[in-house]
Amino acid sequence: MTRAAALVFAACALSLIALPWLIGSEFYVNMASQVLIYALLALSINMLLGYGGMVSLGHAAYLGIAGYACILATVWGYNQLAAAIFAIAASTAAAAFFGLLSLRAPGLGFIMITLALGQIVWGIAYRANNLTGGDNGIRHPARPMPFGLDISVAPRFYYFTLSVFAIALFCIWRFSRSPFGASLMGARDQPRRMRMLGHHVWLVRWLTFVMAGFWASVAGVLYVYYNLFLSPHAISLQQSAEILLMAILGGASTLTGPIVGAAVITLVKNVASTYVERWNTLLGVIFVVVIVFMPHGLVPGCQQLLRRVRDTFKNRPSGEATAETAP
Amino acid sequence: MQWQFWIIQTLNSVAFGGLLFLLSSGFSLIFGLMRIPNLAHGAFFMLGAYFGYTLLQLRLQFWPAAIVGGLGVGLVGAMFERFVLRRLAGNEQGQVLVTLGISFIIADVCLLVWTGDPMPLPAPQALRPPLRIAGYAFPTYRLVVLAIALVAALALYLLMERTRLGAMIRAGVDDMEMARAVGIPVSRLFTAVFLLGATLAGIGGVLGGPVLNAYPGLDTDMLPLALIVVILGGAGSLLGAFVGSFIVGFIYNFGIALMPDLAYFVLFLPMVLVLVFLPQGLFGRVQI
């Protein structure tokens, strides 16, 4: 990490910690918690998309399985910690199984299979009235008290989410820098060569799929703690598509991209829904515009722009000098 | 009574399978030729149902409404291919995501225009009384839907196997580069296949109207079924789409009738089996 990057990172971390003081209003602190939860989802899908080159359209399934498992286990009388661990374990196991199926087909088949699996999870949540309450959804009894701390008010919940998010971000950052991450990126760009070099491409992809499912499950439990409610709407195809769009919009090849994307989409969604009713159209339009005109996303786009501006400033004196000496 | 239940459910299953065939044959053709799953296909089906509703409101007869509605959807599909997908040629991942974006836009516009209430499409007057054979009553309309699907399957088969256009499409499915090299206008084929696929989905939507109604969410109900049909049957194969449609029609329909809570879960099983043992699908020509 260069010094400039470290400074930027420290500034971001400080402002995230100071956020509840900076913006006082409970509404916006809650929105910040939401952004963090979605950012975690976008980061987890980006492990597949950005580093692995695999487009998953069923990522909301893990949010759903973890969320429903967490609520049901709590309702059945387990304590909150046991329920959360059970939920994440169950959902990660589901990811392991779904990964086995999805990776049977490389490329575009992967999109179809993840989509079909995601819709099946949605369909079960929607139809299994006795278990999930069907379309009406079910409530989570109360937020937990981690280490005896009460996180029922907005700023405290924000800090709880932020600490989970920080741990996740660190792990995913380590993941992206590790030899394992490098072999995943190798498998994305040159699967044949990686195979020749003795890497088990399938295993690398599958493990990534499981890890992505794990972090999405963590986000699912946070989602339930935040809303204290879960219904099939939260795990629809639209949700999966929004998560994917966050990663693409921000820039799938970067670590910070999905976070930026999650912030932009969540804010646009909340702001737009107060002015226009047609969020879905807007979502579709953003989708099309981003993919047609900004395929690399905001973060790489801005970095490029910044580099170009910097280069212009740097080159201008020398450029003029050559212009003068040229004739 | 017991027999009546099984017979009626079987008939419903094959009729639903016929609708699924109209939906997924186009999906499979587009996938086979262009190598992209068109995620807007469910939206095309729903758009067909809504077009049919409006055309019927305008006092058009049912069958003309089905054809006009289908062609309307086909036109939407062809324009989408020509003006949006074409811009992304070569970027298949981008193309898939754009089809998803378009499906959201179509779904939301439908919600805006036709509101959130389910819209019933009445079946043609002549087909409403049930057909009585050997003491059992059969819903006539569903039998007719099945017959139409069978005729469509035969027509598609003849189109693919016996005409120049079909030969060009088959060549494109088998080896796109070679097809281009021998002078087949592949990009024009793309538009043609999109027109054909979207028209079939649109006609399926109108015909499905009296059975399913037109309602918001019809698109996301139908899309996964089309995906599963193609995963089961294999992409790019008409026979695969045909067999897959009836398998899924049976499983889904009996699943809903016998264990409504788990209808989706039951769908999951054949998909798992096929993926584990036959990743190309039953009759796949193209690796998905």
Per-residue pLDDT of A29-44, as tens digits, reads 888 999 999 999 999 9
- Best of B104, B251, B280 to substitute, by most chain A Cβ atoms within 10 angstroms, is B104
The pLDDT score that the predictor gives to residue A317 is 55
Q: Do A130 and B261 touch (CB under 8 A)?
A: yes
pLDDT for B154 beyond 60: yes
Q: State whether B98 and A101 contact (CB < 8 Å).
A: no
Nearest Cβ partner for A108 among B87, B92, B267: B92
Contact A295 B91 (CB under 8 A): yes
User: What's the complex ipTM?
Assistant: 0.81
Residue ranges of the domains in chain B?
Answer: 2-277
Q: How confident is the model at residue A127 (pLDDT cuts 50, 70, 90)?
A: confident
Mean pLDDT of A266-293: 81
CA–CA separation, A91 vs A215, rounded Å?
10
Of A151-160, A277-286, B226-235, give the lowest mean pLDDT range.
A277-286
Q: What's the whole-number average pLDDT of chain A?
A: 86
Q: Could you give the CA distance from residue B140 to residue A64 in angstroms, rounded to a whole number?
A: 41
- Over residues B19-47, the mean pLDDT reads 90
The predicted pLDDT at position A1 comes to 60
pLDDT digits (tens, 9 = 90+) for A68-104: 999 999 989 888 888 999 999 999 999 999 999 888 8
Distance of residue B15 Cα from the nearest chain A Cα, in angstroms: 22
**What average pLDDT does this structure show over A99-118?**
84
Measured between alpha carbons, how far is A184 from A176 in angstroms, rounded to an integer?
A: 9
Burial profile A307-319: b = 16 or more Cβ within 10 angstroms, e = fewer: eeeeeeeeeeeee
Question: With contact defined as beta carbons under 8 Å apart, do A26 and A245 qualify?
Answer: no
Q: How much is the pLDDT for B235?
A: 76
A65-79, B78-92, B259-273 — which one is most confidently predicted on average? A65-79
The per-residue DSSP string of A56-101 comes to -S-THHHHHHHHHHHHHHHHTT--HHHHHHHHHHHHHHHHHHHHHH
Residue of chain B whose Cα is closest to the Cα of A134: B261
In this complex, the residue of B87, B111, B231 whose CB is nearest that of residue A292 is B87
Mark which residues 258-277 of B lie under 8 Å from A by CB: 260-265, 267-268, 271-272, 275-276
CATH architecture of A28-296: Orthogonal Bundle (1.10)
Share of chain A above pLDDT 70, in %: 95
What class is the B2-277 domain?
A: mainly alpha
Return the pLDDT at A268: 85
What percentage of chain B exceeds 90 in pLDDT?
27
Q: Where are the domains of chain A?
A: 28-296
pLDDT of residue B286: 57
A327: pLDDT strictly greater than 50: no
pLDDT of res. B94: 84
Of the candidate ranges A58-62, B58-62, B83-87, B273-277, the one whose mean pLDDT is the lowest: B273-277
Rounded mean pLDDT of A8-35?
Answer: 85
Identify which of A85-99, B55-69, B152-166 has the greatest average pLDDT. Answer: A85-99
